[in-house]
Amino acid sequence: MSDCVFCQIVAGRIPSTKVHEDELTLAFMDIGEVNPGHMLVAVKPHVENIYGLDETLAAAVFRTAARVARAAQKAYAPEGLTLYQANGVAAGQTVFHFHLHLVPRYAHDGMRLSWPAKNPPRAQLEANAARLRAALD
Ligand code: 5GP
Ligand code: ZN
């Protein structure tokens, strides 16, 4: 897609700082780095979100993520590493081309995701799971 910034990066039409690439994925530095070593792992084909990933792309993106995560661990020895991935505006997605964030983490680094746990009763979890099982392809 010509108006997609990550397609432009994959095609080399706009510059990026690459860490690793293979046939299906590209790992590169996020210009909005939260902590040093913050990378994005994008699929090369234009797939908007997780719903569009086939098995090959899904496997490829996680293979690359695991590999560059080990590199981040070796290079920075962070106290932690967060994988973040947003689908849709409500989830915080701003670039509509599938990517994972890998963010090296430190105590008190200021990165926060509010997590309003509701702890519903087991029966509610059972009902939710049944609804999901019925929707599986
Ligand atoms: P999202 O909010 O969709 O999960 O994350 C999109 C990320 O892409 C943001 O963290 C933003 O900093 C990054 N980003 C947006 N445009 C560019 C760009 O042109 N180059 C790079 N390297 N990162 C970008
Ligand atoms: Zn794209």
Residue ranges per domain, the chain?
5-111
Ligand 1 pocket, mutate which of 30, 101, 102 (most atoms under 8 A from CB): 30
For ligand 1, atom 4, the nearest C-alpha belongs to 93
The fold for domain 5-111 equals HIT family, subunit A (3.30.428)
Q: Does the pLDDT of residue 1 top 80, yes or no?
A: no
- Mean pLDDT, range 103-127, rounded to an integer: 96
Amino acid 117: pLDDT: 96
Q: Is 26 exposed, middle or buried (0-12, 13-18, 19+ CB in 10 A)?
A: buried
Compute the distance from residue 77 Cα to the ligand 1 centre, in Å.
Answer: 24
Measured between alpha carbons, how far is 113 from 123 in angstroms, rounded to an integer?
27
- pLDDT score of 136: 98
Confidence of residue 2 (pLDDT cuts 50, 70, 90): confident
The model scores a pTM over 0.95: yes
Cα four-point dihedral sign 53, 56, 61, 65: positive
